[in-house]
Structure 1
Amino acid sequence: MKRIALIIIASFFLVVGCRKKTTTQETAQIEVKKGDIVNTIINDKESFYYVDFKNYPNNDKSLPIGVFDSGTGGLTVLKAIVNYDQNKNETQETGSDGILDFNKESFIYLGDQANMPYGNYSGVGKVDLLDEHIIKDAQFLLSNKYYSDANDSIANIDKQPIKVIVIACNTATAYGKEYIEAFLKKANSDIKVIGVIDAGVRGVLETMQLDEDGIIGVLATAGTVSSKGYHNTILKFKNELGYTGNIEVFSQGGVGIAEAVDEDANYFNRNLKKPRQDYKGPGLLDADIKIDKTLFDIYNFNFSNYKMLCDTKNADDCSILQINDAENYVRYHLVTLMENIRKSNTKNKLKSIILGCTHYPYLTEEIKTVLNELYNYKAKDGSFLYRGFMTENIQLIDPAVNTAKELYDYLNKKSLFNPDGDINASEFYISVPNKDNKSIKIDEEGRFTYDYKYGRNAGEIQEYVKVVPFSRDNVSNDILLRFQKQIPYVYQLIHNFNSNNKKTVDLSFASKI
């Protein structure tokens, strides 16, 4: 039955992206120009990235809501938004009425998968390049351009602009929210920008009493952790909201988790059976993200089906060990987090973990499983190793729900709800390497090589990527099945996104997988 489902999925996504085209008069130019992306977007009328802000339809209720992330993880934020029902639709009073609060809003979603993971740019000293990617994400949502598919050399110009931007990415919020706001201010635009970090912090503090002691864990990308976005915001809101308890924050940069979810070949490749040279995840020799052999029993890695790659048949004898599975990445990082807490000599207990990356909610069950194992793990002397440092039922905080609330409150306050819209008119786009740009370098998987991705420099205005509709060519079967099981309503909206938004696909097979 799973095979049948994959065939149905594949056949449908062959038609997605065949949108009726209104095109530019010439093929977009790939020549490289030196400059600042913000000034280019605002002032350079000849640039592919130019947005005519003087004639932008501000405060137009009928416009869609723009949402972007570094990949598909942001769809978990969109899931929370489209399923939100905390208010009465006719009166906007608090209280569920059985009608989804955003059912008349349409959305334009962008996953910048070609340039992900965003969390690694700060580690290689390329925050300025990351900021440039983030501004280009906003530019796409604000502009009218997209490509029908990766092989199309002429851009369509019939995409709608948007009335609000939701940054469904923690790293992009940490590094780019204020940058986007400054860019929009310079363009004399009053487009609202909503990020996930403030929402997540409000959500986690709501789970604690004002005088309660405890540890808040932050599981996020390395970039988000290094930005101290969550740490500083927790301390800020703690003081502003009058919390007097001893609240400690322990952060863990989850290198490889988001990448495994989006199947980045540098961190996860289901076709491999032995270690490879281009691996970028935790290993035995990496001082910063080292797999500690003395903790093997605690990690409890799953070695079946090449989910761990070892250079010997006996795992205990590995001189090279590479993680090749999303749950195993979760295991490594949660054990590392608990070891850091245990060794800190804190008197507090871990009470909640903010899922500080939008990809992580896909792995909620795996996270709960590992936390339960660690709570019950016994040392050789029979004592519980971590139980003194963690509560039995640690709350997992997904900032997405609070983001949905902030979006609702803003649209309500500004009277920007669409009275006549249709959520089924939502659109879904993803970035792919621009093969018309001869300077790019891609690997066998058709993705940017790691060295090229992080070796580029900011200030070179060129089209590294093409933004195209979600299709079977750029979203794998396994990812589609994950959407189908974990974000079913969003999955249905993706299905509905085709040439005229009138065709739909029978999803009855979904329950049979």
Structure 2
Amino acid sequence: MDNRPIGVFDSGLGGLTVVKELKNILPDEQIIYFGDTGRVPYGNRSRETIRRYTAQDIRLLQSFDVKMIVAACGTVSANVLEKEIEGLKVPYTGVLLPAVQSACAVSTNGVIGVIGTTATVRSGAYGKAIRGIRPDAKVIGHDCPLFVPLVENGMVERGNRITELTVQMYLTPFLTEDIDTLIMGCTHYPLLYGFISDIFGNHVTLIDPGKETAHYVQNYLTSSNMLFEGDDPQPNRYFVSDTVDGFCETAEKFLQRDLNGQVERIMIEDY
């Protein structure tokens, strides 16, 4: 057993999709979550800046003696190289590979769409990973840079006309393609799941990176005998690099629980 917490980080609120799924399948595990809300979004930054932010985020989580680190951010997963995290003394995963493995498994015709931040789509990492599993796959990627700001500003309620129009603008081009699977290549995007599914109906399988990554973590900890064992599970702790209030309001709606006293602001620049 290993009763240390799991460390999860993202540029903002999106990584809560991983947290929610982890708590569903591993309810006794403590999670230390960091949302870099003061520097969100990562998706329009240079690769060098993304890697610098990532190094700081990881150092913060390491200060809590976590047993595993999850980069719950599609942009980080697509832009941080293996050699840059190979020195970590704890296991690490991003969201890219779990999502890609699932997409390749469920796609019937091998035509797979990918949506993500500009930095994610520009990196080509999802396409490379997909073709590493299915060399004959056709990958169609489009960036959706306004999705993250919509989520971070809490504009996720069904019926929000601005969000509806933005989703239509970005996703309508996919309707002329023959995709049967779409990877939501940013953990913010599942908070817009209803809007996205309205575009495609039942014709396209949507891959939620948060859900796939949570199951990857469960399998890893189980096979490595690192699951929590005991009668006294500890509460999650949440850290942000900007105001607590805005984060709490949207996070509580999504997680459907009160976060009073569990969210703290930290100075990420100190790491």
Q: TM-score, normalised by structure 2?
A: 0.87
Aligned equivalent of 2:268: none
Counterpart pick for 2:173 among 332, 336, 339: 336
2:258 paired with 1:429 = no
Q: Call closer, same or farther: CA 1:496–1:106 in 2, change over 3 Å.
A: farther
Residues 128-164 of structure 1: per-residue CA shift (max 9 Å, x gap) = 1211001000011012xxxxxxxxxxxxxxxx32111
2:85 paired with 1:195 = no
Aligned equivalent of 1:133: 53
CA distance in 2, matches of 1:82, 1:230: 27
2:38 paired with 1:228 = no
Aligned equivalent of 2:267: none
Aligned equivalent of 1:63: 4
Counterpart pick for 1:175 among 79, 95, 103: 79
**Residues 251, 337 of structure 1: 8 Å contact kept:** no
2:24 paired with 1:114 = no
**Displacement, 1:103?**
2.4
Counterpart pick for 2:218 among 396, 408, 412: 408
Which is helix-richer, 1 or 2?
2
CA distance in 1, matches of 2:223, 2:166: 42
**Residues 47, 119 of structure 2: 8 Å contact kept:** no
Aligned equivalent of 1:204: 103
**Displacement, 1:404?**
1.6
CA distance in 2, matches of 1:361, 1:194: 19
**Residues 239, 263 of structure 2: 8 Å contact kept:** no
Aligned equivalent of 2:140: 250
CA distance in 2, matches of 1:476, 1:399: 22
How many pairs were matched up? 261
Aligned equivalent of 1:462: none
Q: Call closer, same or farther: CA 1:78–1:194 in 2, change over 3 Å.
A: same
**Residues 106, 421 of structure 1: 8 Å contact kept:** no
**Displacement, 1:252?**
0.8
Counterpart pick for 1:217 among 113, 129, 135: 113
Q: 3-state DSSP class of the match of 1:83? A: helix
Q: 3-state DSSP class of the match of 2:204? A: strand
Question: Where do 5+ consecutive residues of structure 2 fail to align?
Answer: 265-271
Aligned equivalent of 1:371: 200
CA distance in 1, matches of 2:109, 2:247: 44
Q: TM-score, normalised by structure 1?
A: 0.47
**Displacement, 1:215?**
1.5
Structure showing greater relative contact order (alpha-carbon pairs closer than 8 Å, 6 or more residues apart): 2
Counterpart pick for 2:29 among 67, 85, 105: 105
Q: Call closer, same or farther: CA 1:395–1:67 in 2, change over 3 Å.
A: same
**Displacement, 1:74?**
0.5
Asked which structure has the greater CA Rg, the reply is 1
Aligned equivalent of 2:62: 142
CA distance in 1, matches of 2:217, 2:244: 28
**Residues 331, 370 of structure 1: 8 Å contact kept:** yes
Q: Which amino acid aligns with 1:234?
A: I
CA distance in 2, matches of 1:128, 1:67: 21
**Residues 108, 428 of structure 1: 8 Å contact kept:** yes
Q: How big is the alpha-carbon RMSD for the aligned residues of Structure 1 and Structure 2?
A: 2.5
Counterpart pick for 1:398 among 208, 221, 234: 208
Q: Call closer, same or farther: CA 1:220–1:80 in 2, change over 3 Å.
A: same
CA distance in 2, matches of 1:422, 1:354: 37
Q: Call closer, same or farther: CA 1:219–1:133 in 2, change over 3 Å.
A: same
Q: 3-state DSSP class of the match of 1:119? A: coil
**Residues 13, 247 of structure 2: 8 Å contact kept:** no
Runs of 4+ deviating beyond 4 Å? 421-424
CA distance in 1, matches of 2:98, 2:175: 25
CA distance in 1, matches of 2:262, 2:27: 16
**Residues 13, 152 of structure 2: 8 Å contact kept:** yes
CA distance in 1, matches of 2:221, 2:120: 28
CA distance in 1, matches of 2:78, 2:263: 33
CA distance in 1, matches of 2:192, 2:122: 22
Q: Call closer, same or farther: CA 1:177–1:67 in 2, change over 3 Å.
A: farther
CA distance in 2, matches of 1:234, 1:421: 42
Q: Call closer, same or farther: CA 1:220–1:371 in 2, change over 3 Å.
A: same
Q: Call closer, same or farther: CA 1:180–1:107 in 2, change over 3 Å.
A: farther
Residues 221-244 of structure 1: per-residue CA shift (max 9 Å, x gap) = 1111111111110000125xxxxx
Aligned equivalent of 2:255: 487
CA distance in 2, matches of 1:229, 1:192: 21
CA distance in 2, matches of 1:141, 1:476: 20
CA distance in 2, matches of 1:179, 1:430: 27
Q: Which amino acid aligns with 1:369?
A: D
Aligned equivalent of 1:4: none
